[in-house]
Every structure is written in C-alpha cells, then in structure tokens.
Copies of this chain bind each other. A is one copy, B any other.
Amino acid sequence: MPADSRRRPVRVGICGLGTVGSGTVNVMARNGEGIAARCGRPVEIVQIGARRDNPDCDTSALNVTREIFDVASNPEVDVLVELIGGTTVARELVLAAIANGKHVVTANKALIAEFGNELFAAAAERGVSIAYEASVAGGIPIIKSLREGLVSNRIQWLAGIINGTGNYILTEMRDQGRSFNEALAQAQALGYAEADPTFDVEGVDAAHKLVIMASLAFAMPLQFDKVYTEGISGIAIEDIRYADELGYRIKHLGIARATEHGIELRVHPTLIPRRRLIANVDGVMNAVLVQGDAVGPTMYYGPGAGAEATASAVIADIVDLARTLEAAPHQRVPSAGVAQGGCRTEARVPPMEEVVTSYYVRISAQDKPGVMSQVAQICSDQGISIEALIQHEPQPGETLVPVVILTSRAREVRLNQAVAKIQALDSVQGEVVRIRVETLG
C-alpha cells in the first residue's frame, strides 16, 4: 500500500521515551506501512528527545538527543509529540514548539486541563494546532467523538469511568470482598496503582480528564479549579453490598451536566443502576457515556491506559495533523472544538451545594424504636422523600443497626442539612455515610 509519492513525509519529533513514548515508537515501526497508506504520506520520526533510553524500544536507528528543547527548535520537525508529563517543563516545551510554528500532540491531561486555555490561544495565534486525544481515556477516541462525531448535538450531560485504577479497586472490592486498602495494595502489586496513589484514588486524575471532555462538550473554557472532587478512599465494603441489594453499583464517575444554572463539573463515587451498561464496565477499563439532544445516549469503552493503547491515540492525532499540514489553519479542527473567539469566554460552574441529585445515606443507629421516625421527619422537613430503605439485624456482638436509605432528588444543601441533623441524633453513632446516586437514564 504505497503512500502518495508526491507528498513528503510528515516529520515527527517525540519528547519523552517512557511508557507512551516507547509504545508510540513501537507501533509506528510495526504498523508504519498501514499508517502511511491511511495518512496519505509516510510518518517519519526525525528526532527523539529523552533523558535516557528505554529498553522497551529500539531507537538505535533514530536520532536521539538528551536535550529535549532541541526538538522544539529543530527545523526538520513538523509535529512535536510531548510525552514527558508534568506541567512545568512540558508547558515551556509546548510553548517553544508553538513559537517555532510546530503542531503539538500531547497525552498530558494535567497540562491541558490546567494550561489548555493559554496553550490553545498561543497555538491559534501562531496558526498551529494542539491535539490531545491521548489525554483522556487512553486509546478510546472520545475527544474526536465529542469534537467531531457529536458536533451537531447540544450535549446534555456526560458521565465517565475515566480512572482505571479506581475502577479496578471498586471492582475488586465488589467481586472479591476486599476492603479499599486491600484492593489498593492489590492494584499496587499489579502495577495498576502508583506507590503514592493519591492522584488516582482521590479523583485528581479524573478531574483533569473531566474538565477536558466538558470543555469540548459544552464549548466552554477549561476550568480545572472549579471541579468538585471526591475520591473513593472512604468507600466501605458494606456500602458496595448494600448498593447491590438495592440494585446499584458504585462507580467513581466524572460527571458534567448542563443545567439552567451552569455546567456542573464533579468527580465522586456514584451509585448507578446495575442494569445500565456503564455499571458493568469493570476492572481497569474506562467508559464515557454521553447524552446528546439529537443522538441520545452513546457510550465509548476501552482501555484507559497502557503503552500501545495510548500510542494509538497519539498516532491518530499525528495522522490528522499530517493530512492538513499544508492546509490553512481554519481548515483544521480547532484545538478547543470551536475556533478561538467562538468559544464562550466563561461558563458558570455551580457550587456543589446547588447540585440536585438523589442520595444513598447509611446510618449506624441504636436498635430501638423511634429512630426511623426521627430520620424520616428530618428528611421530610428538608423536603426530601425516602424512596427505599433497608435495615439489617445488628452484626453479632454489635448493638448498632445499619440503616440505609435512598432519597428522592434534592438540592445538596438540603441533604447536607438533613445529614447534619441525623448525625446529631443521640441514637446515631459513627459517621453518617452519604453517596450520590445518578440514574443516567
């Protein structure tokens, strides 16, 4: 399958030779012929900038420099691929590449989520593009789907399982009956979780990805500091069991939703009905469910990480840029989904207290009459109905009874007030647990 011989290769410089960098080099080497046939021109790696070699890929025939900024100033490079991670050097590197008129491909979610507005403006000014398919959900083409495939839709909401580590832990807790700490240790032993797992289990990673998807779905600027973020380290095994009894699974979701008060951006553990397809996305897999006004619900599923899965997205971006390398800037898909100036300059992100949803509430109460009527009265006073309730016998040797309720939809501020009052009851001991519920229907 010969590429059009009239067209010169697109010349790529790769910065960073870690997991994704080596995956990218390997996939390009293995599938180069097919990629060239589809791209219409060969894709050539003209330089690699990396502090050290990576035994997972053979760069002996490639031009490798230890000075990554050399790649940004190399006049032979058309597209700089930023795979070094972090937001300090990476930001400088990307700005340098843009200043030198190079397109940029990056897998760096923190960089886009935190500095994307600045970088997109710089790129638009210089007439180049920044592509970042690999920054969200690995090789799943979710960025392309939001930016191009669903372009005619008014997106109503999206909800994603976008952190494989967290999903693995929750799956292990449910399937194997492990505690959070046991499941985390298991994830660490298998290399799915870092030694310091904070970024994954406390939701920062998911918040980065959510804000990127939301910016495309709602044509709004990236507002990472506005994302409400709650992790899964507080999820107890009994909550997973009670949720199951009620017909729900607990998943760590990133949710963006358009309301009349703005665009909600929130990452938190969530009960979702077991019958929903996304409730059955298990292990390290990712999935994003998107509700558009024209198309209805669509879902995108696949591995959210991994060397070659992420490389798949990196190379797809390179091919897109290669096709339109000689085209006018406005003939390319804009980095932010809409042209600079076409984007809303701001979008209100309502605080969590304004969010309306249903709740799972677990109370540990003394096993004596009257507690339930007190709880029901407190909820009723806040305009909250109890939709379902389960009460179990005390565990052997325990005097406390677990009471689990599912509430009607309520503003979070109301629920918070109810929880505070329940917590203050004499017969209630331990912390009242509260997990949000979304039907995603």
Contact = CB atoms under 8 A, between A and B. Distances in A.
A35 B277 contact: no
5 contacts: A1-B219, A2-B342, A31-B293, A37-B343, A140-B298
Nearest to A333: B323
Given A28-B152, A300-B300, 12 more contacts: A1-B219, A35-B151, A40-B339, A141-B150, A145-B145, A152-B311, A277-B280, A277-B281, A277-B301, A292-B312, A295-B313, A298-B303
Instruction: Give the 9 A-B CB pairs with smallest separation, nearest first.
Output: A141-B149, A139-B295, A298-B302, A152-B315, A295-B312, A299-B301, A294-B308, A294-B312, A37-B342
A38, A145, A301: residue with the most chain B Cβ atoms closer than 10 Å: A38
B312 A153 contact: yes
Interface stretch (A324-332, A349-357, A408-416): A324-332
A281 to B, nearest CB: 7
A148 interface: yes
A330 B294 contact: no
A13 interface: no
Contacts of A313: 149, 295
B3 A342 contact: yes
A312 B342 contact: no
Interface residues of A, number: 74
Contacts of A31: 152-154, 293-294
Contacts of A130: none
Given A342-B1, A342-B4, A337 B38 contact: yes
Contacts of A295: 138-140, 302-303, 308-309, 312-313
A320 B148 contact: yes
Nearest to A155: B34
Nearest to A149: B141
A219 B330 contact: no
A344 interface: yes
Contacts of A34: 154, 219
Contact of A294 (B139, B145, B281, B343): B139
Most buried by B among A298, A309, A311: A298
Interface in A19-51: 23, 27-28, 30-31, 34-35, 37-40
A27 B153 CA distance: 8
A306 interface: yes
A334 B139 contact: no
A139 B154 CA distance: 14
